[in-house]
Amino acid sequence: MTDQQPPSQNVSRRPHAGHALLIMALLVGCSLATVWSSESASPRDKGDRDIQDTKQKGAEGVDFSYDVFGAPPGQDPQRIAEEVKAKDKADKPAVMAQHAKILQDRYQLDCRSKDGVVMTKGKPQPIGPTVKLPNGATWDQLSKLSPEDIAAKDLFPAGFRRLPHVKPAVGGQVFPDVQTKQFPRLIRFDVNFDLPDCFLPEFPPPIFLTTHPELGDVSQGEVLTAENFDRLFRGLVTPVQLDGLRMLVTQFPQEEFNATHDRKSEKPSLGVSCLDCHVNFHTTGQFHLNPDTRPQRDRLRLDTVSLRGLFNQQIHGSKRSLRSVEDFTEFEQRTAYFNGDHIRAIKKGMNIIDRVVVAHMAQIQNMIDMPPAPKLDPMTGRLMRNKATEQEIRGEELFFGKARCAGCHQPPWYMDQQMHDLKLERFGAQADGPIKTFTLRGIKDSPPYLHDGRLPTLEDTVEFFNVVGGLQLTAEDKAALAAFLRAL
């Protein structure tokens, strides 16, 4: 297991052992390695010293590998950029091998599927569980143990812990292969995407408009881009919405994709568009680091969320809890998406958008519906008895009963507009703190699961909540619960 930590009341402030190792490997030769390795080597005291340490390391742990704009006088930024690129490329095989080892320790990533179990447009849903059990343990045993016992015996599965970014010290946006094949401008020279395609949503995802339910998927099987948005959407939406869409498919400078020397794409880039990540207003698993946390090593990996059904959501972002789509849109745009750093955003070429235009962008985002769920009663969001299978109905009973899922995932949207802290530190894992409850409507279409995509399949989410909630579900219960989730 790469991700384990000795149990401690203070785990949330401790350096992440797995992270520290990975980062060390990445940064050999670099001064950061000394900072972090010495930290992970020595056991640390609790209390104020920890906080002081974290602040100190935050200051020393420069967030980014280089910054040509801050190059010392007399240094040639072009040369520095070439040197960094050469080093990044040379390091890439080792970086990816190190990350592959982390995945290997966490998951059994063979692509299992089941006849007829498909996403909205027919891509097979991945079937799990994929998370590996710690030596000798069974899922049944784990769900019967107290958090304290699991922590003391170090039995919390590696795959239930934070999933690191492929290169945490640098972070940034990483796009899956299926997408970079069609859009080579999104290839980075320093890292690759990590998860196999079978654990990602369909590409391109279908698009459903709240204003045109009778049309079904309006994507015509294409990825919405600056080239085709007018052809696909003119006449279907208002001029305001079309203008909002224009902005959502327009590339803007971003930390790794921009026209300066300081970038991770081979050629200078115009940047990325909103719908490069939220492909067709959904997601295909692009990831990044969260903007909200410092120091760099503590930032969470973030799996791109779907924008379907945004109109019913009142808090946005895993941690930020921004209260409007407008605010979220403006924020993502202004900080070069997700670095939480407005100054670096300006350096990469900032495009201030007027609040009126932001409103246009928000309006079109609010027109996107969930995929159909033909087994749900429109009046209640619950299963219709004459449409659902026995197993799905049993799953629903569990969801609202013994499994206690409905405490947070309330119908009809299967969420509660709240953030909750699952307190994984009880199990000896690194703490996540409060995270927004994601909607479970259309959940079959958006693997991998949780904010960082640490759970590749719905079976993994059921095992996760079974252990974390101490639910003691039977094998039949768990299969029924997964079947219910697939019907939502």
Binding site for ligand HEC (CB under 6 A): 173, 272, 274, 276-278, 286, 288, 290, 302, 304-305, 307, 310, 313, 316-319, 325, 328-329, 332-333, 337-338, 361, 365, 403-405, 407-409, 420, 432, 435, 437-438, 440, 443, 446, 449-451, 461-462, 465, 481, 485
> Residue 216 or 381: which CB sits closer to ligand HEC?
381
Could you tell me which of 32, 29, 39, 140 has the C-alpha nearest to residue 91? 29
Q: Which is nearer to ligand HEC, 27 or 244 (CB)?
A: 244
- Is 32 or 325 the residue whose CB approaches ligand HEC more closely? 325
CA 197 to chain centre: 15
What is the closest distance, in whole angstroms, from the C-beta atom of residue 304 to ligand HEC in the complex?
A: 4
Nearest to 337 by CA among 247, 422, 271, 411: 271
CB of 275 to ligand HEC, least distance (A): 8
- Asked if residues 205 and 68 have their Cβ atoms less than 8 Å apart, the reply is no
Residue 188 or residue 288: which is nearer to ligand HEC going by CB?
Answer: 288
H/E stretch holding 248: helix 239-248
Cβ-Cβ contacts under 8 Å for 455 (sequence gap 6 or more): 131, 159, 160, 448, 449, 461, 464
Query: Tokens in use for 84?
Result: 């960094």
Token pair in block for residue 145: 């143990």
Which of residues 84 and 408 has its CB atom nearest to ligand HEC in the complex?
Answer: 408
Radius of gyration (C-alpha) of the chain in whole angstroms = 23
What is the largest distance, in Å, between two alpha-carbon atoms of the chain? 76
Shortest Cβ 401–ligand HEC spacing (Å): 10
> CB-based contacts of 172: which residues, under 8 Å, 6+ apart?
188, 255, 256, 264, 288, 289
Q: Which residue has the tokens 């200051």?
A: 59
Identity of the residue, 1 or 307, whose beta carbon is nearer to ligand HEC in the bound complex: 307
Residue 438 Cβ vs ligand HEC, minimum distance, rounded to whole Å: 4
Q: How far is the CB of 44 from ligand HEC (least distance, A)?
A: 26
Q: Do β-strands 435-436 and 287-289 pair in parallel, antiparallel, or remain unpaired?
A: unpaired
Nearest approach, Cβ of residue 314 and ligand HEC (Å): 9
Q: Which CB atom, from 98 or from 254, has the smaller least distance to ligand HEC?
A: 254
- Minimal distance in Å, beta carbon 173 to ligand HEC? 4
For the CB of residue 365, give the shortest distance to ligand HEC in the complex, in Å: 6
Alpha-carbon torsion 190, 320, 14, 447, what sign? negative
Our CB check for ligand HEC shows the closer of 57 and 317 to be: 317
Report the distance separating Cα 206 and Cα 119, nearest Å: 10
**For ligand HEC, the closer CB: 13 or 409:** 409
Q: Summarize the chain as % helix, strand, coil (round to 5).
A: 40, 5, 55
> Distance (Å, rounded) from C-alpha 441 to C-alpha 415?
9
Q: How far is the CB of 24 from ligand HEC (least distance, A)?
A: 26
